[in-house]
Structures are given as structure tokens and as C-alpha cells.
Structure 1
Amino acid sequence: MDSILTINNLTKKFGSLTAVNNLSFTINKGNVYGILGPNGSGKSTTLGIVLNVVNKTEGNFHWFDGNITTHDALKKVGAIIERPNFYPYMTAEQNLKLVCKIKGVNESKIDEKLEIVGLLDRKESKFKTYSLGMKQRLAIASALLNDPEILILDEPTNGLDPQGIHQIREIIKQIAAQGTTILLASHLLDEVEKVCSHVVVLRKGVKLYSGRVDEMISSHGFFELRCDNQNTLIQLLENNSKFGKIKIEDQLVTAFLNEPMKSDDLNKLLFENNIILTHLVQRKESLEEQFLKLTDNQKN
């Protein structure tokens, strides 16, 4: 698989603070990667290093096959790592024409990119009249003008209302569907779960997990159960090897699975043992639960 970005043992120190600690991962072509972590976990610093705006302390990284300078490689990269910065009294189209001049790309791309982000009908509107979500979408259009091989986004939905968040996420999916590789930093588990195919989980600059999102949440899930004879239910579950951890909160029993099991089969098993359920819900373990497990296992 073609590599877009390779990071090896990257470390960044600000005095006594280690913002990024011996970080290694690879971004391959055609996927949507999320760097996930709470504020202060080193996400933005990592992006700043590979975009040549922050100097690394140790380690190295290379773009594409490694036979290209970072300066030349960044011509094939689109990035938004700060709040959109356009001229307020110029229209969207005028602002993008200026970006084209700076990037040395043809102005003929402007309408196409505005169409992608849903702003073609507002291209004659001044930037100052745009909502926060529209400003962010214009920034994405700007980052796409050079037809980048990878689009890098730092907290792309920060500060947006639910509609704005939904619009940005749909645009990201649309861009990815056209074959552009995407790397986004986010502290939102929901964002990574809905948008990304791969995830790198960071905490205090240290990588806790790197891999596919679906593999991270590939546990067999759990059942939420209620019945009138709870003690009998718990005893049966505890004596069955198909179940692992059993959690009890008030009248709700949560039974985590050690192997796949259908709700029909569980219902049948319980019925045969004279246990009649009043509530049965089967769930997959969410990315949030996996993330909390990872971070709980990491010492403060």
C-alpha cells in the first residue's frame, strides 16, 4: 500500500514538558485517519511538526516515498490547522483567487471546490457575512484548490452547532470517497467513530493505540437485561463461559460477551431455564468504552 506519511520515534519537548513522546505511525493512501486524544495530548503539535511549522526535538518523518523534500511534499498537501483567515470585506471567490495566486494554481478550480463544500451559490457573498460553519467550509475549499493527495484538518468541527458539525462530516466523507487521504485531529470520539477508518489514540504525547477503528471496537459487545428473578439470571450468566464481566446497576444487568451470540439464542437459553426477560438489548462496545479502557490503563 502506498505510504503518504511515515513518522518514526518523533519527540517534541517544550522545556521540561514532553508534548510528543517517541511517536511512530504510518498514514497509507486512501484512508481516513483520526488522531484522537483529549486536549493537551500532542495532536496539534504532531501536525505542526509534519507541516514544518513546529521543530521536532528527536526522531524523524518523511512524506511519500522519502525521496522528496518536505517543502516539495507540502505542495501535495492541503491543511487547515488554525481558524480560517480570510479577508472579511472580500467575497469567497475573491479570497480563493488570492489563495490560487499564492499557491500558484489555476483559478478554474474555484467553482468545483466551492461546489464540494456547498458554497457555490454564496461565492459572491463577503466573507464577513458567513456563519462559522460556512467559514470552515470555505477553508476546506481553499485547502482543496491544489488537488492535494492528503487533506489535514485540526479539530474541523470545533465550535460548530450540530448542523455545522454534520455538514463538515459529510463533506469529509465525500472528499474521502473521491480518493483523497484525510488526517484529522479530534478530541471527539463520536467524530472519529463516524468519519475515520483508522485511529491513532494519544494521551500526554504517548501513543496508546494505532489501527483500524472497526478492529478497536471489534469486541463481541454486550447484552442489557432485566427480569423479575435477577439472582437466577446472574447465576446462570456467571456459570456460562460465553459471558465475561457481569455488571449490575439497579435492575439492569449488563452481560459482556466472550464470543459472538445472537439475542434470539440468549432468549431461548434463558426461557429454557425459566427466566422470562422484561428487557433485552444487544449492543456493540463503543469506541468511547474502548478509549476509556485504554486511558484508564495508562498511569497519570
Structure 2
Amino acid sequence: MKSTILSIKNLHKRYGKIHAVNDVSLDIQKGNVYGILGPNGSGKSTTLGIVLNVVNKTSGEYHWFDGTLETHQALKKVGAIIERPNFYPYMTAKENLELVCKIKGINYSKIEEKLEVVGLSDRKNSKFKTFSLGMKQRLAIASALLNDPEILILDEPTNGLDPQGIHQIRDIIKLIASQGTTILLASHLLDEVEKVCSHVLVLRYGEILYNGTVDDMIAHEGHFELQAEDMERLLQTLLEHPDIDKASEAEGKIIAYFKRNVEPSALNKYCFANNLILNHLVLKKLSLEEQFLALTQ
């Protein structure tokens, strides 16, 4: 059983009439990469702010590390970047990280190691003000990793970056995850979540629309296109399938939806067993983008 790093239950946050977070529940297990996905204003940042103790919740609860630690103790094991990185412009990357170590009581030996992770070792003696936006963001990640956190929380980590910067940050996130750190990131970019996350929580107007694995979200919605010589009998046979949800004929093909995951090979066997030879069988899956649009319409 994987240990639970963060458990959120029935979280609500209201600002006057605005229900920014509406009954959000989420369990974050060790070793996964979670994406909170939603358009701007969907409650992503507010949810992160609450668990990081910078925003007061209206109601609900959350527990860090199976509830074994008080929030302020637990946050010592968390690395987070929730706003623009705040470093001293005239100090070098290394000096800025030394300052963070001093404040947090961390050994300086961690600095080289973390600069290596984010690919900034060769720029450690450059002043922060000479860094591009992408490099500043990478230094912020290095800073958040100094205490070897069990979970790294990132709010829109690639916001404002050029394609190369985005690519570098995503590679770093994958690398950190591969080393066993749990990651929670908020994003409005589908592509980001599809490429780096194992799990996704889709929010709209503070409400959960989907919560599960990225693979399940993509696999969940799909349909088959089928053709055979005797289309009428094919339709009848499909409607008798134990897992059929609905099937109908359109443009010379039969479109079939199933209640649960059915393998194409199993469907082919089923038709063959009913003396139907298929001359067309295609499983059409929605991309995460199509799914997301369908959910958030």
C-alpha cells in the first residue's frame, strides 16, 4: 500500500458570492505525478494555497503524511513554487541558494547537486539578473528541492516560457519524478498534464469534473466503428452484447459504445462466434484534449 502524502476532503473556499473551491477531495499517493487541470479561475491556485497554509479554507479538511504531522511541521518536507521566483538580482545563483540554505538550516552541500538536476551548474556564478525567465524558473525549482522534499508543488510551472523553456522544465519534472519525488502541479495546459502526469484532477469553477489516472481518462471514452456484409445483423448482434451501451448505424458504419473497456480482439471474436466476419473494425479514442473539452463545455 502506497503511503498518502496529502489527503484533501470536502474542501470549500468562498470569497463572498464566489465559490472558488467547491467540495474538492483528493488523495496524493507517494511516487506519482498529479496534475490539477483547469482553465484560469477554476480554483487550482486556491486549492494549492490552502494546503500550503497561505489561504484560509472556508470548510473541509486536509492532512499531510497520513495526519502524523501538524501542517507547519509537514511543510518542512514540502517544496513549493506558487509565485514568481523571488531572488536577489545582483547575487549569483549559488549565493541565492546559499541564502535559502541559511534561512532553512540546510547544508550547503545540497547546492551543487540541485543545480545539476536543473541544468544550471555551468551558470552557478552568474548573477540572477542575467538569467532568462526559463533559467529563473529552473533556479526556483532547485531552491524548492534543497530540503529534499517528499513532494514538490508547482503552480503553472511553464507559464510565460518559450517552447524551449517549456521543454526544459517538463524534462526536469520527469527527472525529479523518476528519482521518486511526488509532484503536484497546477496547469491550464492539457499538453503539459498529458506529457508529465500520471494522475489528473480536472476542475471547473472550483468543482471536480474528473479525478483519476491520465490513462483512464483517455481510455474511458472511446467507440468502435464496425462494418460487415450484413449490417442489420451486425447491429442486432452488437445490441445483444452484455457490455453494450448503445449502437447505431451512421454513414454506412455501425458506431458502438460500450459500458466498460472492451478489447478490439475480444469484439472481433464475439462477432466471429456469431457468424459475422468483420471487414472494418476501428477503436476510436478521444485525445485528452477532446475529453477535456467535452468535460468543460
TM over 0.5: yes
Larger deviation, residues 212-221 vs 98-107: 212-221
Amino acid corresponding to residue 123 of structure 1 in structure 2: K
Amino acid corresponding to residue 260 of structure 1 in structure 2: E
Deviations 1:249-293 (A, max 9, x none): xx998956543326xx7xxx9xx78x8x9xx98653211222223
TM-score normalised over the length of structure 2 = 0.84
Residue equivalent to 1:194: 195
Residue equivalent to 1:260: 263
**For structure 2, which runs of at least 5 residues remain unmatched after alignment?**
none
How far apart are residue 207 of structure 1 and its match? 1.2
- 1:7-156 equivalences under 5 Å are 7-156=8-157
Is the CA contact (8 Å cut-off) linking 2:264 and 2:283 kept in structure 1? no
Is the CA contact (8 Å cut-off) linking 1:237 and 1:255 kept in structure 2? no
Amino acid corresponding to residue 142 of structure 2 in structure 1: A
Matched, 1:209 2:210: yes
In structure 1, how many angstroms separate the alpha carbons of the residues matched to 2:34 and 2:88? 31
TM-score normalised over the length of structure 1 = 0.83
Matched, 1:169 2:193: no
In structure 1, how many angstroms separate the alpha carbons of the residues matched to 2:199 and 2:37? 10
Query: What is the DSSP-based 3-state SS (H/G/I as helix, E as strand, rest coil) of the residue aligned with 1:86?
Result: coil
Amino acid corresponding to residue 93 of structure 1 in structure 2: K
Query: What is the DSSP-based 3-state SS (H/G/I as helix, E as strand, rest coil) of the residue aligned with 1:79?
Result: strand
In structure 2, how many angstroms separate the alpha carbons of the residues matched to 1:109 and 1:84? 19
In structure 2, how many angstroms separate the alpha carbons of the residues matched to 1:154 and 1:252? 48
In structure 2, how many angstroms separate the alpha carbons of the residues matched to 1:67 and 1:103? 22
Amino acid corresponding to residue 160 of structure 2 in structure 1: G
Cα RMSD, aligned residues only: 3.1
Identity %: 69
Residue equivalent to 2:161: 160
Deviations 1:196-241 (A, max 9, x none): 111111111111221111111113745789xxxx9x9998986673
Query: What is the DSSP-based 3-state SS (H/G/I as helix, E as strand, rest coil) of the residue aligned with 2:291?
Result: helix
**For structure 1, which runs of at least 5 residues remain unmatched after alignment?**
none
What number of residue pairs does the alignment pair up?
A: 284
In structure 2, how many angstroms separate the alpha carbons of the residues matched to 1:118 and 1:149? 21
Runs of 4+ in structure 1 displaced over 6 angstroms?
Answer: 232-240, 245-248, 251-254
